[in-house]
Structure 1
Amino acid sequence: MNRLFLLLTLIFIPHCQAFASDQPEPVWRSLDPQNSVLMQLPHGDVVIELAPTFSPNHVNQMKELIRLGVYDNQPFYRVIDGFVAQGGPQDESTHKKATETLTLEGEWSTDSTFTFTPIQENDMFAPVTGFIKGFALGHDPANKTAWLLHCPGVIAMARGNDPDSGTSHFYITIGQATRYLDRLMSIFGRVVYGMEHVHAIQRTQVIEGDTPVEPDEHIRIVSMRMMSDIPEDERIHLEIEDTETAAYQQFLTERRHRTAPFFFKPPPPVLDICQVPVKTRIAND
């Protein structure tokens, strides 16, 4: 065995043990095939969970566009490192539905019955942050509004200056949270599988003086299909960690108060909503 590898192994193992805890087993929920999308890229598959509870009109539009084949063989034409991967049909005239504008679904009203799993108060962009059905959200109790957050991996509809100008072009956040876009855009889903393939999409923007990326080098979507339209034996069956459980609450407590021996200088008991993971796993048949 390589001596350097052995040394690194001996160093790393104690660190892993230091992070171990007596956390309860997560509670899992099955991904609904009626509200999940399989996006096939040349280099791998990506699964997107849609959010009809929060952005119903955008979800319905996306489903219809997918079933029309609008996104098949279309490029990710605006891919900026640390920001977004944006794609959409290059000739919208071939599908009338692809040009229909949507009213912004940037936030929704809440009432006294509104519940979610809280994460942090006095977030930089929201009075309160938390999870609902695995989606990161901001909440303003005083104004009784809530909205989904631009954490890495969310999918939202691109638009122009008019808030109600989104049609068919979408983006996936590939960098750290672009939270300044919260409430300004319609988030309608998030990547729950294959994020590494999203990160591998060819960047289209280069630094000044570098060789430009030509359009024929842009990564194209092989196909997008609703998971429910795919034969059962060809689907990717996933389970998502349920964020509305006591087990997840305990996980949050332990993550907020890092007491493992590794943290000889404990960090502040703060949780950045976009740094709190929600696990995905392949479902056991």
Structure 2
Amino acid sequence: MKHLLLAAVAASLVLPASAQEPAPIPSPGEIATSAPAKDWTAIAPSDLLVMDLAPDAKGTPRRVVIQLMPAPFSQGWIGNIRKLAAAHWWDGTSVNRVQDNYVAQWGDATEKKALPEGLATVPESAYVTRSIAGFANVSSFMGRAFMINKKLKGPPLPPPFDKAEDAYTGVVGFADGWPIAGGPQSEYWPVHCYGAVGVGRNMSPDTGSGAELYTVIGHAPRHLDRNIAVVGRVISGIENLSSLPRGTGALGFYENEAERVPIQSIRLASELPAAEQPRFEYLSNDSDSFARYADARANRRDPFFIKPAGGADICNIPVPIRPIAAK
């Protein structure tokens, strides 16, 4: 009886301490995964470009899915890309350049394939837009990714973090799930983050037609912003491009035809049979879940981390995107 009494006393001393242990701090991925359905926005199949590469050496299919940039950004090039996809122009072309820590690029390596009629010539002025009024949801960090703390009513950050700015411009943020930047004279533009898809071009004033495209497979080359059109981003299958052998020619171009990776087809997802259309959704940047997610990316407090960074580059807050289960 004495031993039972002592055990009961010991248990009474242990249980309150255990109950007072703080709950584990979730990681950014855990925050996104637990976000309610209302915080996610579906991507229309008509805004998805599906690229099927030739199978790899083991016969494994290789598919890349690209989300096209919404209006008002880059719409001249987007219009051309839709026409190129409708004409099946990319079928039989190839990935012909893979430069380490930079880009993977695809198109007609011979530069002799005739383009469809009716493609627009897009001016350099279209690299920026002067209005983002058409976007439903805009969240600006005003040069401070961690300004999200204010929405969360978090503690103010001490100097110099309270005045930190984006290295390339004064305003960065998200509009309808896309990372954007802004500057003087109310100009706004999409930025080159990992996975961004851009339009290859020759020397200025050429701006490219959209037939030659690339995706970023390395550190975000923000110096390309406003110098080349950003027309989308890879949302699935980036590993099928980033893992390709590096080209040994100048700028990572493959030096012979055998090295190139054939493209079987590129289609708008809406052109595919309904049952075969890939479907995705993104975490809306005006949701509380995104606010918590962005704050967690800028200030990692989950168990592995020792010191929160106090900020994040706009490209270090990738918008969560996930496939939608077939119904």
Tell me which interval the TM-score lies in, with the shorter structure as reference length. 0.7 to 0.9
Larger Rg: 2
Three-state SS of the structure 2 residue aligned to 1:224 is strand
Alignment match of 1:278 (pick from 299, 316, 319)? 319
Contact kept in structure 2, 1:78 and 1:205, CA below 8 Å: no
Q: 1:251 to 1:93 in 2, by over 3 A?
A: closer
Q: 1:280 to 1:165 in 2, by over 3 A?
A: closer
Structure 1 equivalent of residue 237 of structure 2: 194
Residues 187-216 of structure 1, C-alpha deviations (whole Å, 9 max, x = no match): 111111111112123322369xxxx75222
Cα RMSD, aligned residues only:
2.5
Three-state SS of the structure 2 residue aligned to 1:66 is helix
Q: 1:112 to 1:37 in 2, by over 3 A?
A: closer
Q: Report whether the alignment pairs 1:65 with 2:84.
A: yes
Structure 2 equivalent of residue 8 of structure 1: none
Q: 1:267 to 1:20 in 2, by over 3 A?
A: closer
Q: Report whether the alignment pairs 1:252 with 2:294.
A: yes
Contact kept in structure 1, 2:132 and 2:188, CA below 8 Å: no
Structure 2 equivalent of residue 106 of structure 1: 127
Instruction: State, as a whole percentage, how many aligned pairs show the same letter.
Output: 27
Structure 2 equivalent of residue 170 of structure 1: 213
Q: Report whether the alignment pairs 1:95 with 2:127.
A: no
Whole-angstrom CA distance in 2 between matches of 1:111 and 1:277: 20
Contact kept in structure 2, 1:202 and 1:219, CA below 8 Å: no
Structure 2 equivalent of residue 181 of structure 1: 224
Deviation at 1:99, TM superposition (A): 7.4
Structure 2 equivalent of residue 218 of structure 1: 260
Q: Map 1:23-172; keep pairs closer than 5 Å.
A: 23=31, 25=35, 27-43=39-55, 44-53=62-71, 54-89=73-108, 90-97=110-117, 101-104=121-124, 105-110=126-131, 116-119=138-141, 120-121=143-144, 122-140=165-183, 142-167=184-209, 168-172=211-215
Q: Which amino acid aligns with 2:130?
A: S
Q: 1:279 to 1:79 in 2, by over 3 A?
A: same
Q: Map 1:204-215; keep pairs closer than 5 Å.
A: 204-205=247-248, 213-215=255-257
Contact kept in structure 1, 2:80 and 2:119, CA below 8 Å: no
Contact kept in structure 2, 1:65 and 1:97, CA below 8 Å: no
Q: Which amino acid aligns with 1:94?
A: A
After TM superposition, the score normalised by the length of structure 2 is: 0.73
Structure 2 equivalent of residue 5 of structure 1: none
Deviation at 1:95, TM superposition (A): 2.7
Long gaps (5+) in structure 1: 1-16
Three-state SS of the structure 2 residue aligned to 1:274 is helix
Q: 1:20 to 1:48 in 2, by over 3 A?
A: closer
Three-state SS of the structure 2 residue aligned to 1:162 is coil
Whole-angstrom CA distance in 1 between matches of 2:294 and 2:255: 42
Contact kept in structure 1, 2:173 and 2:180, CA below 8 Å: yes
Whole-angstrom CA distance in 1 between matches of 2:319 and 2:226: 22
Contact kept in structure 2, 1:19 and 1:262, CA below 8 Å: no
After TM superposition, the score normalised by the length of structure 1 is: 0.83
Long gaps (5+) in structure 2: 1-23, 56-61, 145-164
Deviation at 1:278, TM superposition (A): 1.6
Q: 1:188 to 1:150 in 2, by over 3 A?
A: same
Give the stretch that moved more between structures: 193-202 or 46-55.
Answer: 193-202
Whole-angstrom CA distance in 1 between matches of 2:261 and 2:134: 44
Three-state SS of the structure 2 residue aligned to 1:236 is coil
Residues 94-137 of structure 1, C-alpha deviations (whole Å, 9 max, x = no match): 33449763223211113789762234431111112111122211
Q: 1:69 to 1:273 in 2, by over 3 A?
A: same
